[in-house]
Amino acid sequence: MLIIPAIDIKDGKCVRLTRGDFSQKKIYLDNPSDMAIIWRKQNAKLLHIVDLDAALTGELVNFEKIREIVTNLDIPVQVGGGIRSVDAVKRYLDIGVGRVVIGSAAVTNPKLIEELLKIYKPSKIVVGIDAENGIPKIKGWTESSKLKDYELALQMKGMGIERIIYTDIACDGMMQGFGYESTKRFAEKAGMKITASGGVTNSGDLKRLNDLKAYGVDSVIVGKALYECNFPCQELWYSFEEELILDHNFSTARKK
């Protein structure tokens, strides 16, 4: 199970929301690029980045912040949030983003998916379905789709999409466990590669997620639980990094 740390950017800063509520925002670092480097040091193999401002406006507000992250890292980055045109996809892929996540536009403009898949391989285009009680929410989770979550997935599958990022909104940022049953139900009906997202709280949740590998769930995006250091190994990582910093400072002092 591939664990993918999430970085949400709002007003240029690294934040986490609770159930997508912009009024319940917690800032973790002023510079998202610093956060990306921390996750890379902790052996992340892929990062998931969301431009929250773009999700609301459709404008790539934090494009330069994301470019900085991509430039500083040696691992793939996937980006979502407000990507609603071929031009927006091209801009991200041109700076080295590994793959883009199309959310709202998959509902409001499905022809965009068809157009993108004529230009790019399916490995470059992922569809994000954020659902509440089985109904996809769009435009920063402020509007609802007329389709059910699995119906949207099957529509995307028919167009050539191979992977869905599935988020159970009711669990996202709540630190009370992920939506095991909702994710299982969705994965069974979709029959696609699935990246789970929302609500992972501890290592027990990760073990439960392993049970869903048979249904195509092969990876998971983890946000607040990582930021709040809910995994025992994180204490070791942070201690080790502190030692490296102390060693570096001592060596530098000796050279002076």
pLDDT of amino acid 25: 65
Q: pLDDT band at residue 61, thresholds of 50, 70 and 90?
A: very high
pLDDT of amino acid 183: 94
Strand 135-138 and strand 143-144: the pairing is antiparallel
Catalytic residue among 8, 53, 149, 205: 8
Q: pLDDT band at residue 18, thresholds of 50, 70 and 90?
A: low
Q: CA-CA distance, 46 to 40, in Å (whole number)? A: 8
Q: CA-CA distance, 70 to 242, in Å (whole number)? A: 25
| pTM confidence score | 0.85
pLDDT of amino acid 241: 55
- Please indicate whether residue 53 is annotated as part of the active site: no
Nearest to 227 by CA among 1, 27, 19, 21: 27
pLDDT of amino acid 37: 92
Q: pLDDT band at residue 24, thresholds of 50, 70 and 90?
A: low
The residue behind tokens 């402020």 is 142
pLDDT of amino acid 254: 31
Catalytic residue among 51, 53, 130, 168: 130
Q: CA-CA distance, 241 to 244, in Å (whole number)? A: 5
Print the SS3 string covering 43-109.
CCCCEEEEEHHHHHHCCCCCHHHHHHHHHHCCCCEEEECCCCCHHHHHHHHHCCCCEEEECHHHHHC
Report which of residues 56 and 111 the model is more confident about.
Answer: 111
pLDDT(162) > 80: yes
Look at 9-13, 17-21, 125-129, 164-168 and tell me which has the smallest mean pLDDT. Answer: 17-21
DSSP label at residue 11: T
pLDDT(236) > 60: no
E strands present in the chain? 2-10, 13-18, 21-29, 47-51, 77-80, 99-102, 125-132, 135-138, 143-144, 163-168, 193-197, 217-222
DSSP label at residue 147: S
Greatest mean pLDDT range, 145-149, 231-235, 246-250: 145-149
Q: CA-CA distance, 70 to 77, in Å (whole number)? A: 7
Report which of residues 174 and 83 the model is more confident about.
Answer: 83
The proportion of the chain whose per-residue pLDDT surpasses 70, expressed as a percent, equals: 84
pLDDT of amino acid 120: 98
Average pLDDT over residues 139-162: 90
Nearest to 154 by CA among 101, 212, 100, 113: 113
pLDDT of amino acid 242: 54
Look at 24-38, 82-96, 137-151, 241-255 and tell me which has the smallest mean pLDDT. Answer: 241-255
pLDDT(21) > 80: no
Residues of the domain holding 119: 2-255
Q: pLDDT band at residue 249, thresholds of 50, 70 and 90?
A: very low
pLDDT of amino acid 247: 43
On whether the CB atoms of residues 122 and 159 are closer than 8 A, the answer is no
Q: pLDDT band at residue 189, thresholds of 50, 70 and 90?
A: very high
On whether the CB atoms of residues 218 and 189 are closer than 8 A, the answer is no
Q: CA-CA distance, 48 to 42, in Å (whole number)? A: 15
CATH number at residue 145: 3.20.20.70
DSSP label at residue 122: G
Tally of domains within the chain: 1
Paired strand residues for 17: 25
Q: CA-CA distance, 105 to 123, in Å (whole number)? A: 18
